Structure 1
């Protein structure tokens, strides 16, 4: 068994985790949550997103969160269109995430554009961002299954990822948006992406809807993937993916990796303290296995 010496965790709880939360979390509580997460040793994080507060009201305080939480770590802000990019340019954040769904149906419900229309809009935006020195990650939604169209074609995913690399992105976050992928499918897709795009950072993004997220992380590791999006407490869910539950819990992934001798640089106890801040403010219980055991 070949295992990496180190794995990088990209914490997505403050953005992907909270975007679908019914209770509005105050800006102050978000900032406290983010700062405690950073104290646990997390070096890359999705802070927030510049999206319409009409559709995602939880993110309406994006500018305040960015101003309070930028530091020398890599802090991503999701900006899905030109309007979001213009707002991003008014901040000092230099790492941005854009996204497109492989599924046409998902993409239209999410941002009211076809996949092709989104790519045409993003091409000049990515060029502009790279010229200005931004780190750009592209999030590839519904890379395995779509809630409306079912199983995605592998080659369609590979072609979309290759197009983003041609545009100049630094990283691809390949997402099992509805948590339906299995380890065999994960191994197959990431193997082909590694062969096709050997010089691009590849990140696995798994939801735990059917309890397979940890197994899918392990399958990706076997291919040589060493970057994963995770969410403290297993927070998450997508407003445009009915039934999708949270992202794989950061603490569950960190615990598994450490038990296998793989370094993450994250202190589990401080991570639990961060979750303690956000848990009482949520509308639903957390699904994290590790966190539940700490509170028995």
Structure 2
């Protein structure tokens, strides 16, 4: 039996990874691919956005698949992934969490003997010019994601000035001069994700179970909310916030909402099983997030 190709997708919170995967599901809709989606927060938001049957997408939430706490679960899912279909899966796409250091991936496959059944394909890393240079010095995982990549997609180029794009590209090339660097909008890239990777020899280690540089909180909304008021309340956390996202029941219907780098995106959504807003912030902002979650759950923004 030939080895199944596996593509790894990385990128910091809000860089466009899930949008990239949604593009892939459309492009490869006739192929038997399995998607493994890793969420740092304990709630599955990204997996639901792919809108695929249960035998096509698996979510591993609550941390990084490359940390010691989730590695065993991830390995078990990966062992089973190629048999999800009645026939053998043609490929596996893994979306690592935004805080992940993916440099351990090749070593993980070898240690678990999974390199006998999986052939590493391209590692695609997405970069948001709005956050990359600002956070590079304080969050080393952002650099690790670029170091380990075969292809770097400089995403959201329609939202930034040419000067900012050029400076970000220069930093990316300094970190990884061998990666193929592409500018993209809405994570649209015509690349063969199952192409052969470059031999760059980067190495990493398993992450600790808890990364103190980040904190997360999930607010469960008691009913329809005044979305404009809630959005303004979240905006006041822009000094510490890395990401906010979720399926939210508003006074005028359900929406998928997403905050990254100070910019909101919203789209109409089908009713979800729960109305939730996931917040991910700097590690020292835990108490502030807790107080905001308590206000939300107490109905401060109820319609």
TM-score interval (norm. to shorter) = 0.3 to 0.5
User: Higher helix proportion, which one?
Assistant: 1
TM-score (norm. length: structure 1): 0.37
Structure with bigger RCO (C-alpha 8 Å, 6+ apart): 1
TM-score (norm. length: structure 2): 0.36
